[in-house]
Amino acid sequence: MAHDQHSSSSKSENEWLDELGFEAFRVMRQNGTERPFSSPLCRTGHQGTFLCKGCGADLFDSSAQFDSGCGWPSFDKEASKGALKEVLDKSHGMVRIEVRCAKCDSHLGHLFPDGPTASGMRYCINGVCLIPQ
């Protein structure tokens, strides 16, 4: 098999587990969900950006964060167009839009069109995927 140096998804599952630790690996590489209200990032107030724990890509700006009360960190837009990838998710008997990091293809959370701000969007993101910077 050809070695692809350009693709971060060529990382083995063991390498991901080493880098991310068990909880982030379970969420980001196995489409898991962290326990609601378990992330310290549910609270707004961080000033700066939120980076992808998988690859360091800039995913969200703190100005986009709002307190949705849903139990997961929530944002109303991505840091820049194309930072995130949207995938149709029909698991668990629901039709939802899954949100992935466009760069490393890690699962982050889901996107719901019921946000309270002007964008109308609510990116419901597992805090364990994010590094506040």
3-state secondary structure of 131: strand
Our answer to whether residue 55 is catalytic in this structure is no
Residue among 24 and 52 whose Cβ is closer to Zn ion: 52
What is the full DSSP assignment across 57-123? -EEEEGGGEE--SSSS-EESS-SSTTSEEEEEE-GGG--EEEEEETTT--EEEEEES--SSTT--EE
Residue among 102 and 120 whose Cβ is closer to Zn ion: 102
Catalytic residue among 52, 101, 104, 124: 124
DSSP 48: S
In the range 33-62, which residues lie near Zn ion by CB under 5 A?
52, 54-55, 57
100 contacts Zn ion (rule: CB under 5 A): no
Q: Name the segment binding Zn ion (CB under 5 A); options: 70-78, 86-94, 101-109, 114-122.
A: 101-109
Residue among 42 and 104 whose Cβ is closer to Zn ion: 104
101 contacts Zn ion (rule: CB under 5 A): yes
Query: Are residues 17 and 25 in contact, defined by beta-carbon separation less than 8 angstroms?
Result: yes
Q: Which positions ≥6 away from 31 have C-beta within 8 Å?
A: 91, 98, 107
For the annotated catalytic residues, the residue numbers are 124
Residue ranges binding Zn ion (CB under 5 A): 52, 54-55, 57, 101, 103-104
